[in-house]
Structure 1
Amino acid sequence: MDKKYKARIERVLAYIEERLPEKLLLSEVAAVSHFSEYHFHRIFTAVLGETVNDYIARRRLERAINRLIFKPDIPITQIALDHGYSSSANFSKAVSLHFGFSPSEIRNPAKIKNSKIGKLQSKYGKVFNPFDLYPDAITAEVIKSKPQKDVIMNVEIKELAGMPVSTLVSEGGYTPESIYATWDRLIGWAENSGIAASKQTRFALAYDNPTVTPIDKCRYTAAIVIPESVPVAEPFVKSEIPAGKYAVLYFKGTPEETLQAQLGLYAEWFPDSGFEPDNYPMMEHYLNDARVDGYVEMEIYVKLKPL
């Protein structure tokens, strides 16, 4: 993709993300891209593989469902209103059409009586099962040898200084091929910039929950810490990991088991921690090369703010 097109579309995605709960006029969204309104819709669909309306509706639902799961004390009606829906009935209809389950069934899978094929499966090819959202269900089926409490005991709170990084977005979301290709490019760039592979500090910014979002639509950005003086040019982008307090969970296991650890951190550790996640994506700090070792060793970082 032409870098100017890519930059314009990325501006649009950032604009949408900041205003998801609001009523978004397509003319305003198109104006952010600096494409004509008529051509913008075709360009957006060609690049993202879905229309602007579908993208906005999907992101709204994904954010609302994550709140539904990890904030069980918030009433469904309040979640609906907070995410741009005029009523709990409209929210329930939208959730059922997209996921195939009602909000109350997603919040409590024991209530499930009948399931339907939602848009998430028919349009995006992703089979959705509410039981997969909860650590106990995953523990029973996937990691029977690793009790959840043993994993959660490894959580520490660390204070980080701000760190300049060079970043590259995975064009194929969380698909392994795209992630590895992204890292190969970024690692090679860092080596050419004088940062030896053995000296690189590597983080991934993981924006989305793969139990809710189609894998290829999940937003994933690779990042390597750099000296402030190192120049960064496209397609790489210079950014900064913000200073602050982070919950840090050490993890070692198979790639399939990482979801268990991540969901456990949110569902088991946060409620009694005195903190909530700040408005910054979850980070994975890689400590090894999974392709070489056959397992993943990393630290999972979530930026904190007081309740």
Structure 2
Amino acid sequence: MTYEITLQQLPSVRLAGLAHRGPYPSVGPVFQQLAGLVAEPSWVEVEGMAMIGHDDPREVPAEELRAHACLVVGEGFALFPPLEEIRYPAGRYAVLRLKGPYEKLPEAYRWMDSEWLPGSGERPRDLDPYEVYLNDPSETAPEDLLTEIRLPLKG
């Protein structure tokens, strides 16, 4: 399978995250915990949901995978424990937009890393890619889910 990648200049992103350890598909309850931590007035500073997978599941055993379930937040969002602030700088990103169920994400990451990147002439920055969820899985059919994988690039 091949995917379309666009090179984009993206603004900086501020994330409020909760750590997760274990298989990436089991991160759902961490997102629920994350949502439960935010008081109603603070939701005006929440711009969306994201996840950072810190490890390659082809190289790290599933039970040892590290991730962060995140809220994309504005500067006015007050961080508090156990939330961790994670920032991605403005710059060039390779963006792969995936339509379909989250189960398709591992293959999209594999393709981006193993097939697209080596022949692209691009070099990744020393930052993990992250994914942004563009619609709500509780209100959207799995085949209509939209997810962006954003890979920070050098230059």
TM-score, length of structure 1 as denominator length: 0.45
1:294 alignment partner AA: P
Q: Equivalents in 1 of 2:58, 2:31: separation in Å?
A: 23
Distance apart, 1:262 and its partner CA = 1.1
More helix by share: 1
* Equivalent in the alignment of 2:84: 237
* Equivalent in the alignment of 2:13: 163
Q: Aligned with 1:186: secondary structure?
A: helix
Q: Aligned with 1:265: secondary structure?
A: helix
Q: Equivalents in 1 of 2:89, 2:69: separation in Å?
A: 15
Q: Equivalents in 1 of 2:42, 2:121: separation in Å?
A: 42
Distance apart, 1:299 and its partner CA = 0.5
Bigger Rg, which one: 1
* Equivalent in the alignment of 1:273: 120
Deviations 1:130-150 (A, max 9, x none): xxxxxxxxxxxxxxxxxx23x
Q: Aligned with 1:232: secondary structure?
A: coil
Alignment partner of 1:301 out of 139, 150, 153: 150
Mapped pair 1:185 → 2:33? yes
More strand by share: 2
Q: How many residues align?
A: 153
Q: Tell whether the 8 Å contact from 2:8 to 2:92 is kept in structure 1 after alignment.
A: yes
Q: How does 1:123-162 map to 2 (within 5 A)?
A: 148-149=1-2, 151=3, 154-162=4-12
1:157 alignment partner AA: L
* Equivalent in the alignment of 1:211: 58
Gaps of 5+ in 1: 1-147
Mapped pair 1:254 → 2:101? yes
Q: How does 1:1-307 map to 2 (within 5 A)?
A: 148-149=1-2, 151=3, 154-176=4-26, 179-195=27-43, 200-290=47-137, 292=139, 293-295=141-143, 296-306=145-155
Q: Equivalents in 1 of 2:132, 2:99: separation in Å?
A: 12
1:169 alignment partner AA: A
Q: Equivalents in 1 of 2:22, 2:67: separation in Å?
A: 9
Q: Equivalents in 1 of 2:52, 2:19: separation in Å?
A: 9
Distance apart, 1:184 and its partner CA = 0.9
Distance apart, 1:155 and its partner CA = 0.5
1:224 alignment partner AA: L
Distance apart, 1:249 and its partner CA = 0.3
Q: Give % identity.
A: 26
Q: Tell whether the 8 Å contact from 2:47 to 2:74 is kept in structure 1 after alignment.
A: no
Distance apart, 1:263 and its partner CA = 1.1
TM-score, length of structure 2 as denominator length: 0.85
> CA 1:175–1:266 in structure 2 vs 1: closer, same or farther (change >3 Å)?
closer
Distance apart, 1:196 and its partner CA = 5.4
Gaps of 5+ in 2: none
Q: Which has the higher contact order (CA 8 A, sep 6+)?
A: 2
Q: Aligned with 2:42: secondary structure?
A: coil
> CA 1:249–1:183 in structure 2 vs 1: closer, same or farther (change >3 Å)?
same
Q: Equivalents in 2 of 1:303, 1:206: separation in Å?
A: 14
Q: Tell whether the 8 Å contact from 1:202 to 1:223 is kept in structure 2 after alignment.
A: yes
